[in-house]
Structures are given as structure tokens and as C-alpha cells.
Structure 1
């Protein structure tokens, strides 16, 4: 009698059933995904959102975030001509230091925008020469604007109506005419007045000039050394507010540090109460674990709004929001680490005659220290980003300043500046936390 195992016989019907099953799965899964995406497309109102989208405005804001513009403005009611950076009165050019591409004749001007683009302002009339199209004319009247365009199709960059003429043939050139003013925008790469204010004695100096000035014994201001005068002018720049931004960044970091350390200090002892191998009382374990669920179940932003209503605006409310949320998260992680420790080490410490606190100190803490340090540092790094969002709600710090710069369309370069600084701080926190982990855990 043969001991060989009889192999099951595969019939053509079995093969056909397998083919049908695989074909059904192959077809049903993509159809299910397609049906889900179709539902979300309409449920989330994507068509309406796309219909309201303004990509050209997004391009303008992106341009404003990396460049600045000089305004040549003629105010028709007062018959005056002004040339200013970003249209700011405190950054207005005088007749003696006009840009070389602006020729002023009393209250009239000729503006050379380069590459053949030329604007002539005479009285209430503006002539804009656009290469490849012709001369666009706008004449301000008491009721609106009379517009004269070259014959043929009107390009998309010409927005003409009886109330306003707006011509933007390129991203870095723009002309507007209304019944009250004629305005020319000329864009330049870079951030304006970033280092020093427009009317500062240091404005326009090169790095070599600043270096020589810092070493000079002749003081520009008798109350400060030249080096400190430079630092003062930089920090007190009214356009960029460097000093206030650095203070706000420090508040944001302190908010994250205080909240994370508070959460770790409260989360660790509570974790012992939630760990099964340290707390025999099921009632106490259940209550502690539900406390963790409650604290981390309410989002950090909600806690922030609650504390803002209770204590008012300020960094303390942000630190409390971080502490409450992370106490629940870290407490849960610590309790799970405690439940997975090796009891042999604890028994070894007990055999030496150590008391309970010594068993915790030498038998338990060294085992959970890597998890404790790693998780605390990770949450510290994450909370630096979270503190920015919480600050935007009113808790202060860099988040509040970021929201203030986004309220208007004029300060997007300041918005970019704050975002870049925030990213730099997050990178520094990431590198620092990685270095601390290696020092404390790996012993390097």
C-alpha cells in the first residue's frame, strides 16, 4: 500500500471559479475607489471651490512674498506726485534721490519700466506703451475713467471699465487709473528695507562699509557704539519688527518647552497608577486611564480656546493647552512602557534589600528612560509647531504675529519671513533633540 499523499484534483470548474473571484475583486475594488472619490468630489464642494478659485491672485501674492514694488503715484485731487517703496509715506523718495528710471517734471512724470514699457503721466492723462500691443491711454474724469485702447482684440491683462483701468502685461509691471489717482507699480526682487529703515543713516550701505563703520571710533550716535547702533537700528526696524519677532519666537519656544515638561512631570507618576503591574487596584487603573483619554481626547486647540476664555490671552494659556493634551498622550505611552519592563531587573534590585523607591529608581526608571527621553523630545519638537498654531488663536507668540501679517495683502513678504524663521526654529529643535537623544540614550 502506497504511503504517498493523494493530491487534490483541480477540476476546470474550480479554475473557473478562482478566475471569476479574482476578476470580481480586480473590478470591484477600483470601482469602489472611483465611487468614493466621486462622492467626495461633490460632497466636499470641489466644483464650487474650483469655480471660485483665483489663480492669478495666488500668483500675485506669491510674487509679493519674494519681491517688493515701488509706487509712482499721482494724487489727482491734491495734484501731487509721490514715489515710495510699497506706497509707504515713511519710505518716500525725495527729489534729490529719485530712482533713475523715474523722470519727474513738477507733478508729471515719465516712468521707464524697461524692455520698452514706458508710462507717461501728464495732468490727468496716462499713456502706457506696451511692446507688441500699442499705447493704452487712461484719462481720469470727475465720474470715472475715459479709456482709449489700440484697435483689435483686448488682451487678458487689460482690465478696463468706466470706473477703473488696470493694465498688468507682466508680473513685475502694473498701471492703474481711477478718477482720484494714477499709480504705477514697478517690482524688484528681494525684501525692501530688510536690514535698516528707509530713513536710517545706515540705509543702502554695503557690507564692507558697515564693517568699516563698526570698527571706527567715530560714533554715529553719541549714546551707542557703532556696532550697537547697527543692532539697534536692525531690531527697531518698523517695517520688519525684527526685535518683536525674535521675542515672539522665544515666547513660542518657551510655550512648547513649559507645556511639554509639565506634561512629562505629571504624566510619569500618573503612568504608574495606570500600569497593571504597579497598581493592583482595577478601579484606580480604570480611573487614571479614563483621565488620559479625557485629556488627549480634547484637541489642543480646544483646550487653548477654553483657557483663553478662562485666563485671557497670553503664552500661559498655550502652555496649559499643550500640558493638558500631552499629559494624556505621554501618560498612556509611559504606562505601556511600564507594563513591558523586565521584572527580573526589579527582582534583582529587591534582592539587595532595596526599598520600594529604590526599586523604582534602579530597577524601573533605567528601563523606561529611553522611551521617556525619546517621547518627550519628540513631543517637544512637535509642540514647537503646535505652539505656532495655538498662538494664532490668541495665545501669543509667533503665531499671533503671523496671523496679523496675513490680514492684509500688503505684508506677504513679512509672512514669508515669519514662516521661514519658524521652519528654521523647527529644524534647530529637531537637530537639538536628536543630539540629546544620542547623548542620553546611546551615550555618544
Structure 2
């Protein structure tokens, strides 16, 4: 009885100790995670980041993604007035044309809506602001001779001797010695389909469709395809270059990695020195990120899509070499022995006894990495100067056409979704023989 009681006490004591350890681990792990998050909070200066954040700039950036600016610009030296979309030369209205809210003449009147009226006269420019009054300025060589309504200047007016900037809910009015400019925002992507010089600009969908039925379909497509503002032709080619970089890099790496994988597999390379050398080479190739290889190869081969494809190829050769060698080490010996019993050569044993077993793994990994590398090719293209990544970088650097940045990002997302969908179909067809998705 005493022995049984002692054993029971020992078991109870052991259970209590085990429970205490698990309880300690259950509390300590969350505490460690919380302590690490607190460290990150201060190490990355999150409070400072929040204090430096400018919500006005954030709102402007968001607004620019789905809107565009119309620029009405006066050359203060010649008094000439230009009207353009985003200030672009290929988006400039002809001298005898203008939007309905701008009236050209000896005195150009710009109706910004809500009672805001800007006027470009021969010598003086004015801006009438409801609830505030009329601002007048006479720009010249000595600077901007400005006259404001009585009272202190509000915070939305920034004035100096050589520059005055007025920002209201209706738009922005800027005067310098050499130029007077009015910005007005509109929602949408202006001239996305046709440029101002196209005969189809400003037509409704029904009118364009009617002209297409009347035999102008080819001209309509050409006008859209050669749009000099949105560059649809260049964008389509850039998307093709991005997919091409990913395709060449991925499948080129697969073709190189497969034969090398045999030299890294235990059951196909009996010499340990050979296996060790191949595995370390794979570690080296995949250990260096594709972006680093991109910079290195760009110095060697110059910028271009081929450099991006080579960067993907080098990195994925190391990754595929590891994956393929592990797949080869797990093959079943029975099919190989069956092929060997027929008197087949070594190459035939590999072809009919080994390859069919690893094909599902090879195809699955190749297609998965093709989808992943399509995204990577966007960033790589920004460095090597090719693909949609280059156009995206150019649009971001200009800090003007943020609606184009949105357009390119939407296209990139659609491209990745399409590659995911296509690779899924190919995996089902090539691996399971089912292309229906069920």
C-alpha cells in the first residue's frame, strides 16, 4: 500500500513539474513576442515615422491615382496661353480649341467652378475666390507685384516676392515671374483611349461603335494602339518583355539544373566529393538574391531584358538543383530495375525509369516559379531597364502622372493573376491529365 502510494505521489509530482514547465512556456513565449514587438516599435522609430507622416500628401497621392490635372499656362513674357493635360506637350489643345470651362481671347477666363474665376489679362492676372475676394498680380522682371484683399493671408496662400501659390478646393493658382499656371483636377484617366488630335477624341462609346461598324474599326484600333500619352503599344511590349524574362529565366534554369541534379543526388553520384561540390554550388547560386545578380550581370552585359532573364536563371538554377536532387534521391528503384532488366543503357534507364517519376515535381516547381518570377521580373526590369518595371519606375520618378502608376500596377496584378490561372491549368493538364479544374 505504501509502495503504491509512493509511486502515485511520484507520478503526481512529475505531472506537476511537467505542467509547470508547459505553463511557464505558455506565458514566456507570448512575453518574448511582446518584448520583441516593443523593441521593433522603438528601434524602427514608429513614433517618429507617425509624426513625420503628412496626411495631406497622402490624400493628394490617392487623389492623383484616379484623377488628372488640366494645366492652363500663361507665358508671362509673351502672354501666350497653353491648355494641356498633365502639362504634357502631346496632350496640348490646339490654339483654336479649349475645354468648355476656358474661354480664350484677349483676356482668357478660366471658370474653376463654385464661383472661382481666374483671368489672364494682357498684363495682369487675377483670381476671384468666393468668401475671400480677388487676388491680383502683375508679374515682371522685378518679381510678382501682388495685391491681396485686406487682412492677414490665410494658410492656403504662400506668397513671396518671386512666387505666389494659392491652393483651394477648386484648384491651384501659381504665379512666378515667367509663368502663371492654373491646375484643375478631374476624375478619370483623360485621353486614355484617344489623344486630343484624334478624330475619335470626345466621342461617346455609341458613336465610336457606329464608326467601327461603318468600316473605321482599323483606324479606331490604330488610334488607340498608338496613343502617344498612354503608350498602349509600348506597355503591351513591356508586359511581353516581363513575361519573357520570367519564362527564359525559369525554364532555362530548369534545363541546366536537371542534369546537374544527378551529380548532387546520393543514388546517382557515388563520389562524395562530387556531391559536395555540386551542393555547395547550388547553395552559392541561390544564396545570392536575384536582385544582386541583376546588378552584377548588368555591369557585365549591360542593361536589357536578357540581363534580367540571366539573373533569374542563375538564382533559380541553384534552387532547382536542390529541389530536383532531393526528388531524384526519393525515386523508387523498382521501375529503374525493370528498365535495366530489358538490357537498356544508362541513358535509357534515366529516360524511362527515372524521369517519369520526377516529372510531376519538375513541372509543378517550374510552373510555380514561373508565376513567382513574373512578379520578380517587374522589379528586376526596373534595374535592368526592361519590361513593365522600367515604365513603372519612370512614372514614379516623374511624380506627375500617378494615374499611370495606378494603371501599370493594375496591369501587373492582372498579369500575375493570368499567369497563376494559366499555370494552374497547365499543372492539372500535365500532371493529372485533368484540364477542367475538378
Shared fold (TM-score, shorter chain, > 0.5): yes
- Name whichever of 36-45 and 144-153 sits farther off: 144-153
Aligned CA RMSD, in angstroms, stands at: 3.1
* Structure 2 contact 118–125 (Cα < 8 Å) conserved: no
1:47/1:357 Cα in 2 relative to 1: closer, same or farther (>3 Å)?
same
Separation (CA, whole Å) in 1 of partners of 2:126 and 2:307:
55
| Aligned position for 2:335 | 345
2:255 aligned with 1:265: yes
Q: Of 314, 319, 326, which aligns to 2:304?
A: 314
- Name whichever of 372-381 and 34-43 sits farther off: 34-43
Q: Give 3-state SS (helix, strand or coil) of 1:112's partner.
A: strand
| Aligned position for 2:392 | 402
1:11/1:128 Cα in 2 relative to 1: closer, same or farther (>3 Å)?
farther
* Structure 2 contact 193–224 (Cα < 8 Å) conserved: yes
| Aligned position for 1:159 | 158
* Structure 2 contact 144–175 (Cα < 8 Å) conserved: no
Matches within 5 A, 1:318-397: 318-397=308-387
Q: 1:211 offset after TM fit, Å? A: 2.6
Separation (CA, whole Å) in 1 of partners of 2:198 and 2:79:
29
| Aligned position for 2:133 | 135
| Aligned position for 1:54 | 54
Q: 1:84 offset after TM fit, Å? A: 2.3
Separation (CA, whole Å) in 2 of partners of 1:279 and 1:209:
71
Separation (CA, whole Å) in 1 of partners of 2:11 and 2:177:
89
Mind listing any 5+ residue stretches in structure 1 that lack a counterpart? Answer: 218-225
| Aligned position for 1:292 | 282
Mind listing any 5+ residue stretches in structure 2 that lack a counterpart? Answer: none
* Structure 2 contact 371–419 (Cα < 8 Å) conserved: yes
* Structure 2 contact 90–228 (Cα < 8 Å) conserved: no
2:182 aligned with 1:184: yes
Q: Give 3-state SS (helix, strand or coil) of 1:8's partner.
A: helix
1:165/1:32 Cα in 2 relative to 1: closer, same or farther (>3 Å)?
farther
- Name whichever of 34-43 and 60-69 sits farther off: 34-43
Separation (CA, whole Å) in 2 of partners of 1:17 and 1:144:
82
1:94/1:87 Cα in 2 relative to 1: closer, same or farther (>3 Å)?
same
2:96 aligned with 1:106: no
| Aligned position for 1:223 | none
Separation (CA, whole Å) in 2 of partners of 1:11 and 1:136:
89
Q: Give 3-state SS (helix, strand or coil) of 2:249's partner.
A: helix
Matches within 5 A, 1:244-259: 244-259=234-249
Q: Give 3-state SS (helix, strand or coil) of 1:56's partner.
A: helix
| Aligned position for 2:173 | 175
Matches within 5 A, 1:7-22: 7-8=8-9, 22=23
Q: TM-score, normalised by structure 1?
A: 0.86
Q: 1:419 offset after TM fit, Å? A: 1.7
Q: TM-score, normalised by structure 2?
A: 0.87
1:293/1:189 Cα in 2 relative to 1: closer, same or farther (>3 Å)?
same
